[in-house]
Structure 1
Amino acid sequence: MKRNALLVGGFVVAALVLIVAGLITLGGSDLFAKRQKAIVYFQGSVRGLYVGAPVSFRGVKIGEVQSIGVEVDPKSLVTLIPVGMTLGSDTLKMGDEKGGSFRNLPDLVQRGLRAKLIIQSVVTGQTGIDLDFKPDTPVVLLGRGATESPEIPAMRDRLDALLDQVSELPLADVVKEVRQTLSSLDATLKVTQQTVALSGKEIGATAAQARQTLAVGAKALQDVQAQANATLASVAQLSEASRNVVLQTQPEIQLTLQSARDAAQAAQQAMGNVAELSAVGSPLRADAELAVRDLSLAARSLRSFADQLERQPNTILFGKKAP
């Protein structure tokens, strides 16, 4: 019996040792870390948060969620979700003390300690709580000292704030305006397509006319080129004929020019003779002047006789009366 009792006692002691070793292995030194309770009040949804969810400080786990509840004000129907946490880990070091907890938590809250929900996995949708110092945010305590655990103010996630801003936007009006704009764009595109189609036809017709005009112009240019070639050939023939005529008539022209020179010399000689005859003191000029005087006297006599006949026509019958 004693031997059996010793065996049973040995098994019990071994089992206890294994249990303690398992706890130490699984729990690590967190079993001996100093822990502190805290609470956070959330106003919005805590979907994905569960008991045992990690509580971290800038991504480093320092605790876990112990409880999740719901508090509703019967008058205002304002709903709060208190989340209880335990803080403390061997990774947490406050000053020179390692493996401790947040000392003087209310003072840290006044200096900017805040809590917010974070997503652990997009696939599973599980969330956790992350702590950080945000001294630029106000201290808003919702529990008002209802529990003995110190309260850490909850900080709204940027996504929640963005969703609130989006919910305040006049999305219905925006969608309506977008639909109207799309309708206008659709109509404009249809008109543009019709215009492009008509323009394509007109451009095709214009291109055909242009090609026809270019063909006519090319033919006209060919005709002009042919006429120009013929004209140039005629001009060349005329130039050749003119050169031949000039060569053939050159002797006759030279004879004519020689005759003209001789005639000019003879005329010049005759003019010289006339000048010599009409010079002052020459006999011919004296005879000419005498003849001119005689003619002048004869003319005066005839004029006097004519005047007499005009006054006395019978003079021709009876003669001139004596004075």
Structure 2
Amino acid sequence: MAKDAGIARQTVVGAFVIGGVALGLAALVLFGNMRLFSTNKRAVVVFQDSVSGLSVGAPVTFRGVRVGAVESIKLQYDQAGRVAYIPVVVTLDPKQIHVMDTSHAGGEPLQLKDVIAHGLRAEQNVQSFVTGSSNINLDFYPGSPEQLHPNVSNLPEIPTHLSAIQKIKETIGDLPLKELATNTNAAVISIRDLAEKLDTDIPPLVTGLRQTSDQSQKTLDAATQAITDLRDHLDVTLANVDHLLRSSDAEIQQRGADLHTTLASATRATDQARATLESVHGMLAPRGAERDNVDAALRDIAAAAASLRGFASDVERNPQLLLMGRRQ
């Protein structure tokens, strides 16, 4: 009886252990996202640059969708070419990729070499700037060169493509940082020397400018005062000239009538003298010397009479001729 009880107890313990293992495996499969019998495909991505931050188990994504994980990372050195290669083996889950309308391909599943021929490339991206972890992202880059390394691995190879961050790193690496630092240091020294010279030269210059400004202000004040005084004197002078002109106009108006009467009398006297001479001219012999003298006198009297008439007309139109005279 005791022996049968022991065997029954061992059977119960064994069944309990087997049940616990089964439950553990079931939980691992359900909650650990594992597929014990999956048909994952393996491929390799060969890097020649640093893969810092990339670790085993890092996700492999296609435009943000996880399609696999990093399986292993190794280092291979080509002693003949003195080149180091870093083959990263990745596992791709075909169940994560649904191929639409395979009728044109005869119902054949998606082939990795076909999508590589159409531009599928792998690039290393920073997954977190805080932790520095990286992942591998897949995407199509039509026209990108297909650089393969058949001697590194026997697995299907996905060509690499430089990511934006890697391009920035290469650009920064190509910059002549030492020369830039030297030029920057020289520029800083030149700026400092210039600042010292300005500190030395500017204060006297500012003092001179201030003195010049004060003198200019004084000159401007004196000129303003002189212009004010000149304006006052000009006002008085213009008032006097205006008064003189008005007085002259009044006097000319007063004397104009007398002058007109005098000129009229002179004209009449000239006409009478001319008539007298003409009478005398008629009495003189045609060829005598007295006749020539009388003719000359008549011509002079006629010219004088014409001048008097013209002057009388001018004075009548502009009485100021008596004061100002004729303008040449």
Question: Could you tell me whether the CA contact under 8 Å between 2:54 and 2:134 is conserved in 1?
Answer: yes
- CA distance, structure 2, for counterparts of residue 179 and residue 204 of structure 1: 37
Give the AA of the match of 1:129.
I
1:44 paired residue number: 49
Q: CA deviation at 1:56?
A: 1.6
Task: Give yes or no for contact 2:123–2:137 (8 Å, CA) kept in 1.
Answer: yes
Return the alpha-carbon distance in structure 2 between the equivalents of residues 13 and 138 of structure 1: 55
Q: 1:272 to 1:60 in 2, by over 3 A?
A: closer
SS of 1:204's equivalent in the other structure is helix
Alignment partner of 1:58 is 2:63 = yes
Q: Which of 135, 138, 157 is the equivalent residue of 1:131?
A: 138
Give the Cα–Cα distance (whole angstroms) in 2 for the partners of residues 153 and 277 of structure 1: 144
Which secondary structure state, in structure 1, belongs to the residue aligned with residue 218 of structure 2?
Answer: helix
Give the secondary structure class of the aligned counterpart of 1:122.
Answer: coil
TM-score w.r.t. length of structure 2? 0.61
Q: Which residue of 1 aligns with 2:230?
A: 224
Deviations 1:49-78 (A, max 9, x none): 112111122221111112222233456653
- Which TM-score applies when normalising by structure 1? 0.61
The answer to whether the 8 A contact 1:57-1:132 is kept is yes
Amino acid at match of 2:148: L
User: What number of residue pairs does the alignment pair up?
Assistant: 276
- Name structure 1 gaps, 5 residues minimum: 286-323
Counterpart residue type for residue 91 of structure 2: T
The answer to which of 117-126 and 13-22 deviates more is 13-22
RMSD over equivalenced CA pairs, Å: 4.8
Q: What are the within-5 Å matches in structure 2 for residues 107-146 of structure 1?
A: 107-142=114-149, 144=151, 146=153
**Alpha-carbon shift at residue 121 of structure 1 (Å):** 0.6
In the alignment, does 2:221 pair up with 1:215?
A: yes
Structure 1 residues 127 and 278, CA gap change in structure 2 (3 angstroms): same
List per-residue Cα deviations over 1:92-151 (Å, max 9, x = no partner): 224569xxxx8543454444433222211111111111223345233333352654x333
Worse-matched range after superposition: 125-134 or 6-15: 6-15
The residue number in structure 2 matching 1:19 is: 24
What letter is aligned with 2:133? Q
Cα distance in 1 for residues equivalent to 2:279 and 2:113: 155
Aligned equivalents of 2:147, 2:240: Cα separation in 1: 113
**Helix, strand or coil for the counterpart of 1:90?**
helix
Aligned pairs for 1:1-323 (under 5 A) are 11=16, 15=20, 18-28=23-33, 30-31=35-36, 33-73=38-78, 77-88=82-93, 90-94=95-99, 104-142=111-149, 144=151, 146-147=153-154, 149-184=155-190, 186-187=192-193, 200-232=206-238, 234-235=240-241, 264=269, 268=273, 275=280
Where does the alignment leave 5 or more consecutive residues of structure 2 unmatched?
1-5, 103-108, 291-328
Larger Rg: 1
| Partner amino acid, structure 1, of 2:123 | K
Letter of the structure 2 residue corresponding to residue 224 of structure 1:
L
CA distance in 2, matches of 1:159, 1:194: 48
Contact 2:43–2:92 at 8 Å: present in 1 too?
yes
8 A contact 1:72–1:79 mirrored in 2: yes
C-alpha contact 1:40 1:152 (8 A) present in aligned 2: yes
Report the more deviating stretch, 135-144 or 116-125: 135-144
Residue pair 1:56, 1:63 contacting (<8 A) in 2 also? yes
Change (3 A) 1:6 1:237: same
Q: Is the 8 A contact 2:41 2:94 kept in 1?
A: no
Please tell me whether the aligned partners of residues 30 and 89 of structure 1 are also in contact (alpha carbons under 8 angstroms): no
Contact 1:68 1:84 in 2 (8 A): yes
